[in-house]
């Protein structure tokens, strides 16, 4: 019998926990990847960067495995149907996979685990995409943290070299099942079109991590941040490798960002209601204005607030937005326009090449004030001051809003002082109701 490794958001052979455990089973190993119809068919856009990235990375894996005399089974379908087929087609001893913390994924894994059990096939899962998960970092009262700073202190203390060791998968590569290459579905076969984009490189120089604290808030700088988010999202880099690198440099700001990533995963895992509702439920009493015409303008980057418009156009054009600008655009939607954070969250979810439910939800709930690390509701970002501080010479703004000084550029959609007061009044009214 074979040991199959079901790859999902861990698209690498290097330092992969599930793959390592599959090798340790002692049986021949074969990886599997499923293009999940339930997810892909629901995507609005037929030229979706994430799907293109996946196809590219699966082909890369296929090439790597071909060089090792092996292959990867790649299917397009509903996971449960694909697994039924695989069970009838192959003699499977055990299946290995890495943990996933989203509600949909947890239910999917439960269904597949049950199906495999019916056929006396073991389903073994491991931690891989985060440094700490589930109950590994808890408060003194053994409850999950709901505030970042104490969580990060505890997280940092626990992060010994033991947790950063790479799984030595390379040592076992000869154990891949020797077989001829199997086909990988094309974008076209799955109803998608290429965007034709090149994605950011996988490597991050130490120099970037070293200067990260100084550069990370300035979107105009070419290497302001690592742009690794798509790789962390799909596991084309190992978070352990990256954390090891980050731990070695003197300034630990970059390491703290990886901690934020873990933090939001554990929030989603422990408080799954955040996927649909405010973390602080009283925030669901806010009477959002939800003006559709204003939402459209925000989406297109036509609010008349240059930093907001630059960010939204960057998102629409390249599928990525600088973190500082994500904070400004998100805050603007929730507070200045009083549009439900879920609308913005869904729009980012469509467009971001690094879309990750946990970080996106965490970011949006932070901006709305409804989340774990809520700033007081009366603190409202001033987009003009933010731009002055972080893009003083309008370099970033002009890159995305070239018509800035022309009559074609729209007038502001709302006046800041009025919008700020309106947001405060609306929030106060909602929160008083509790």
For residue 412, the 8-state DSSP code is P
Whether residue 320 lies in the annotated active site: no
Say whether 10 counts as a known binding-site residue.
no
327 touches ligand FAD (CB under 6 A): yes
> Minimum CB separation from ligand FAD for residue 9, in Å?
11
Whether residue 288 lies in the annotated active site: yes
Which run of H or of E encompasses 96? strand 92-98
For residue 185, give the 3-state DSSP assignment: coil
> Minimum CB separation from ligand FAD for residue 307, in Å?
14
Structure tokens at 291: 């003006």
Nearer to ligand FAD, 27 or 261 (CB): 261
Nearer to ligand FAD, 182 or 318 (CB): 318
Residue nearest to ligand FAD (CB): 363
148 touches ligand FAD (CB under 6 A): no
Selected from 154, 211, 225, 314, the binder of ligand FAD by CB under 6 A is 225
Say whether 258 counts as a known binding-site residue.
yes
3 touches ligand FAD (CB under 6 A): no
Structure tokens at 72: 């990867």
Task: Report H helices in 272-305.
Answer: 292-300
Selected from 71, 238, 314, 360, the binder of ligand FAD by CB under 6 A is 360
Q: Torsion angle of alpha carbons 127, 130, 135, 139, nearest 10°?
A: 160
* Contact in structure between 320 and 197 (CB atoms under 8 Å): no
Nearer to ligand FAD, 35 or 366 (CB): 366
Whether residue 341 lies in the annotated active site: yes
Give exposure, 154-164, as e/b (b: 16+ Cβ within 10 Å): bbeeebeeeeb
228 touches ligand FAD (CB under 6 A): yes
Please report the sign of the dihedral spanned by the C-alpha atoms of residue 91, residue 93, residue 95, residue 96: negative
Say whether 305 counts as a known binding-site residue.
no
Say whether 356 counts as a known binding-site residue.
yes
Nearer to ligand FAD, 338 or 359 (CB): 359
Selected from 82, 232, 267, 339, the binder of ligand FAD by CB under 6 A is 232
Catalytic residue among 6, 155, 260, 298: 260
Nearer to ligand FAD, 55 or 359 (CB): 359
Torsion angles phi and psi, residue 167, rounded to 5? -70, 125
For residue 7, give the 3-state DSSP assignment: strand
Stretch that binds ligand FAD, among 141-149, 325-333, 381-389, 415-423 (CB under 6 A): 325-333
Here the contacts of 412-419 (C-beta below 8 Å, separation 24 or greater) are 412/303, 412/304, 412/305, 413/294, 413/297, 413/298, 413/302, 413/303, 413/304, 413/305, 413/336, 413/337, 414/336, 414/337, 416/336, 416/382, 416/383, 416/384, 419/335, 419/336, 419/337
Say whether 167 counts as a known binding-site residue.
no
Q: What residues numbered 248-277 form the site for ligand FAD, per CB under 6 A?
A: 257-258, 260-261, 264
Contacts (Cβ under 8 Å, ≥6 apart) of 122: 93, 94, 95, 116
Selected from 8, 326, 335, 342, the binder of ligand FAD by CB under 6 A is 326
Cα 271 to Cα 371: distance, rounded to the nearest angstrom: 11
Q: Which residues are annotated as a binding site for FAD?
A: 212, 225-229, 254, 257-264, 354-356
Positions that interact with ligand FAD (CB under 6 A): 216, 225-229, 232-233, 257-258, 260-261, 264, 323, 326-327, 330, 348, 352, 354-356, 359-360, 362-364, 367
Which residues form the catalytic set? 257, 260, 288, 323, 341, 364
């Amino acid at each position: 019998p074979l040991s199959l490794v079901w790859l999902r958001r861990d698209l690498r052979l290097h330092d992969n926990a599930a793959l390592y455990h599959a090798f340790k089973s002692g049986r021949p190993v074969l990886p599997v990847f499923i293009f999940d119809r339930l997810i892909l068919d629901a995507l609005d856009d037929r030229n979706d960067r994430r799907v293109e990235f996946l196809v590219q990375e699966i082909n890369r894996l296929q090439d790597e495995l071909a060089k090792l005399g092996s292959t990867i089974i790649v299917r397009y379908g509903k996971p449960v149907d694909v697994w039924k087929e695989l069970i009838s087609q192959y003699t499977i001893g055990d299946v290995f996979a890495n943990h996933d913390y989203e509600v949909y994924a947890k239910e999917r894994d439960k269904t597949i685990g049950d199906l495999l059990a019916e056929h006396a096939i073991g389903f073994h899962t491991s931690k891989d995409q985060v440094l700490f998960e589930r109950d590994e970092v808890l408060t003194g009262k053994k409850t999950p943290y709901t505030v970042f700073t104490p969580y990060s202190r505890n997280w940092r203390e626990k992060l010994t070299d033991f947790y950063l060791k790479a799984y030595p998968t390379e040592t076992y590569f000869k154990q891949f099942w020797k077989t001829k290459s199997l086909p990988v579905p094309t974008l076209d076969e799955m109803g998608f079109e290429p965007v034709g984009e090149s994605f950011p490189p996988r490597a991050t120089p130490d120099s970037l991590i070293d200067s990260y604290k100084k550069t990370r808030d300035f979107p105009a700088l070419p290497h302001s941040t690592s742009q690794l988010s798509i790789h962390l999202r799909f596991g084309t880099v190992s978070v352990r490798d990256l954390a090891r690198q980050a731990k070695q440099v003197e300034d630990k700001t970059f390491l703290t960002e990886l901690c934020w990533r873990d933090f939001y995963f554990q929030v989603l895992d422990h408080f799954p209601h955040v996927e649909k509702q405010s973390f602080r439920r009283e925030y669901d009493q806010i009477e959002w204005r939800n003006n559709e015409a204003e939402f459209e303008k925000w989406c297109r980057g036509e609010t008349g607030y240059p930093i907001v418009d630059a960010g939204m156009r960057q998102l629409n054009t390249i599928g990525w937005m600088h973190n500082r600008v994500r904070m400004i655009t998100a805050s603007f939607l929730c507070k200045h326009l009083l549009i439900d954070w879920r609308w913005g969250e869904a729009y980012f979810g469509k467009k971001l090449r690094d879309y990750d439910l946990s970080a996106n939800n965490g970011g949006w709930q932070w901006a709305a004030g409804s989340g774990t690390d809520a700033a007081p509701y009366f603190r409202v970002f001033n987009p003009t001051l933010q731009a002055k501080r972080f893009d003083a010479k309008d370099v970033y703004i002009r890159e995305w809003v070239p018509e800035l000084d022309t009559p074609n550029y729209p007038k502001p959609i709302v006046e800041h002082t009025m919008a700020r007061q309106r947001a405060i009044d609306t929030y106060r009214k909602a929160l008083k109701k509790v």
